[in-house]
Amino acid sequence: MDPDRVLRLLSDVAAGRCSIDEAARELERLPFAELSADAERVDSRVDHHRALRTGFAEVVFAQGKSPGQVRSIAREILEHGDVLLVTRAPASHFQAVAQFAADARYFEDARLIVVDRRAERPAVGHIVVATGGTADMPVAEEAAISAEVMGNRVTRLYDVGVAGLHRLLAYRETLVDAHVIVAVAGMEGALPSLVAGLVAAPVVAVPTSVGYGAHFGGVAPLLTMLNSCASGIGVVNIDNGFGAAALASRINHAAAGAATTKAASHDAEPSAGEPA
């Protein structure tokens, strides 16, 4: 359930606009709802408390699920919140969701389904998503779109790999401005090491399955990133753009929150000559 919705419900109870029994019925399916196609088994357990604990609603991993299962889970999430994010979704899953959510959007390259019904969409802090090459863009878009849905301001820097170092250096100011950088690369996977040596911000490295035979489907860049001589790098799994976005989002929100707290504290300090 959306944290704002819980707060509104509690406020309504306190103000007498909602009875305790009504609130109990609203909350009775929490912390999770059990979904099943028949009476003999539970297919899914949708976590409605995820946003309360982690700051963002449960995300649906579509791979391995049937269109009907994804539709059922998506409907349950949207009945209790304003945002739906489905990853690794083929077109058939989007069509199933679009049957009841006409505002659903499908990002084919990133394989994402998004429904965002928030009146105001937050875009805090700054995350840069960079790729070594154009071929890494599907994974990068999974990261960038996911991060945007999670409430972050995102800048994309694509095709700035080490084969042309000057392309990355041309955007050094953009990199320095970021709270966290997601570096997505296949082939030898050197981009995160290069980026981490240029900036103070943490770098989330994403190896991709783009490359020739000895690349081993992403294992080569994965090992490069794990063995980087540059510090401040965290590595996620091969092609895991969503996982990179989730980590980067938490780092960015923490940084943005710290900056806001610092600014508020500074504003509260008396200026020279004023009594404390």
- Let me know if residue 129 belongs to a domain: yes
* Length of the chain in terms of residues written: 276
* 94 & 40 share domain: yes
**Domain range for residue 223?**
124-259
- pLDDT of residue 69 exceeding 70, the answer is yes
* 96 & 135 share domain: no
pLDDT tens figures, 119-170: 888 899 999 999 999 999 999 999 999 999 999 999 999 999 988 889 999 9
| pTM over the 0.85 mark | no
> Total structural domains in the chain?
2
pLDDT tens figures, 163-201: 888 999 999 999 999 999 999 999 999 999 999 999 999
pLDDT, position 23? 74
The token pair at 36 is 């099943």
- Let me know if residue 267 belongs to a domain: no
Residue 13: strand pairing partners: none
Report phi then psi at 109, rounded to 5.
Answer: -65, -40
Question: The domain that contains 134 carries what CATH number?
Answer: 3.40.50.1970
Q: Residue 254: which of 169, 151, 164 has the closest Cα?
A: 151
* 157 & 53 share domain: no
- Let me know if residue 269 belongs to a domain: no
Residue pair 118/82 in contact (Cβ under 8 Å)? The answer is: yes
pLDDT, position 202? 96
Domain end residue (candidates: 116, 133, 168)? 116
Report how far residue 188's alpha carbon sits from residue 204's, in angstroms, rounded to the nearest whole number. 16
* 81 & 203 share domain: no
* 131 & 104 share domain: no
